[in-house]
Amino acid sequence: MDTGQSSLQAVVQRRGTALVVASLGSAVLGLLASWPYKEETGNWVLQAQGQDLGNLVAVVALIVGAVRMRAGSLKAVQLWAGTLFYVLHAYIVYSFAVHFGRLFLVYVAILGLVFYTLIAALPTRARPAAYPRGAVRVFAAWVLIGTGALFALLWLSEPIPATVSGQAPPSQQAAGLIVNPIHVIDLSVVLPGMITIGILALRGNRTGLFLTVPALVFCVLMGSSIIAAMLLIVMSGDTSGLAPMVMVSVVVDTSLAAALAYVRRLTGPLNHPHASIHRIGG
């Protein structure tokens, strides 16, 4: 193991620790304190707290992933990367769509930490020597393609009619937002990315094959946070989210099943936590 690689992995480890501590603190405060969301509408508070619950699950996933990576687990690398993508998405939303308050700089710091941790970490981890073939690969790829297409249709079901009518979408008005940041991020980057990864995996492209499990992990974590938010909204007396909650639950279960089947069939050179450097797509 060369010194440069060792130093880089030490930096990644430190960033991961800081990320866990900051994410855990902001999630707990969002759930237990009244001041983080005091300027938000009731609907947006419940959505933010649903995200906080999802973030607690993400913190556990980051810890488990980091511990197992030190033991040389290739599966843990996939879990860790997918969780970082989820945290990146979550804190873009917090940073741009929660009123300025005492946690603003915390949100921005977490966003920067996860972004640069991904840049530092992804090129330094070993890639599998062989990826799943046959039904397992096809199933995982089509789960990503189907999930991306399904959520694109769901998210577009409000903005398209609202664009025609010239009125803001009802969910946006309920949340008190200028625009819905989740729609922006998902429709521009996340959902096309999921569909692209699925297509690349079907074609046997190594970048698509490597990113399949992280994308599925992202789906599980993001879906779980959406379910948590919908459950909080239903408990507040608004039952309109029951049907979408069932649909998202199916997506979470299917994504989890696809991820587990896929990782069980990964084989790779990651026998030691300091495996050699391989670039994505290499």
Model confidence pLDDT, tens digit, residues 236-246? 888 877 888 89
Question: pLDDT value at position 282?
Answer: 35
CA dist., res. 164 & res. 221, Å (int): 33
Structure tokens at 211: 């990113």
Question: pLDDT value at position 266?
Answer: 77
Question: pLDDT value at position 261?
Answer: 93
Above pLDDT 90, what percent of the chain?
A: 59
Question: pLDDT value at position 39?
Answer: 94
Q: Taking residues 89-97, what's their average pLDDT? A: 95
Question: pLDDT value at position 279?
Answer: 35
275-to-66, 69, 93, 120, 132 alpha-carbon distances in Å: 15, 11, 34, 15, 21
Question: What is the pLDDT confidence band of residue 73, given thresholds at 50, 70 and 90?
Answer: confident
Question: pLDDT value at position 8?
Answer: 38
Question: pLDDT value at position 2?
Answer: 41
pLDDT higher than 50, residue 165: yes
Nearest CA among 186, 222, 216, 183 for reference residue 55: 222
Task: Give the best-scoring range by mean pLDDT among 58-72, 109-123, 149-163.
Answer: 149-163
Nearest CA among 240, 260, 244 for reference residue 82: 260
- Average pLDDT, rounded, for the chain: 85
Question: pLDDT value at position 275?
Answer: 41
The dihedral through the CA atoms of 257, 275, 15, 194 has a sign that is negative
Instruction: Compute how many other C-beta atoms are within 10 angstroms of the C-beta atom of residue 70.
Output: 13
In the DSSP assignment, the letter for residue 123 is G
Q: Could you state, in order of their start, the residue ranges of all structural domains in the chain?
A: 3-263
Query: What separation, in Å, do the N-terminal and C-terminal C-alpha atoms of the chain show?
Result: 20
Burial 27-57 (b: 16+ CB within 10 A, else e): bebbeeeeebbeebeebbbbbbbbbbbbbbb
Question: pLDDT value at position 13?
Answer: 66
17-47 residue pLDDT tens: 788 899 999 999 999 999 999 999 999 999 9
For the chain, helix, strand, coil in percent to 5 are 75, 0, 20
Question: What is the pLDDT confidence band of residue 12, given thresholds at 50, 70 and 90?
Answer: low
